[in-house]
Amino acid sequence: MLLLKCPKCGNKMKYNSASGILMKKRKRCVYCGHSFKITDNIVKKV
């Protein structure tokens, strides 16, 4: 489980990866709808 931070609005959200590969994965922010790369925006492991 990872804690991600949206680069656009700054809100934090949890992300649970089904596979261990995160290189090309993207996440859509649940607050503002902005899509961003997971690897660049990891805050910490939860």
Convert the pLDDT of each residue in 33-45 to its tens digit.
999 999 999 999 9
| Rounded Cα distance, 23 and 11, in Å | 22
pLDDT at residue 17 in the model: 83
Question: Is residue 11 helix, strand or coil?
Answer: coil
Instruction: Assign 3-state DSSP to the chain and report helix, strand, coil percentages, each to 5.
Output: 0, 40, 60
Q: Which of 31, 29, 3, 33 is nearest to 17 (CA)?
A: 3
**For all residues of the chain together, what is the average pLDDT?**
93
Question: Is 23 a residue whose pLDDT tops 90?
Answer: no
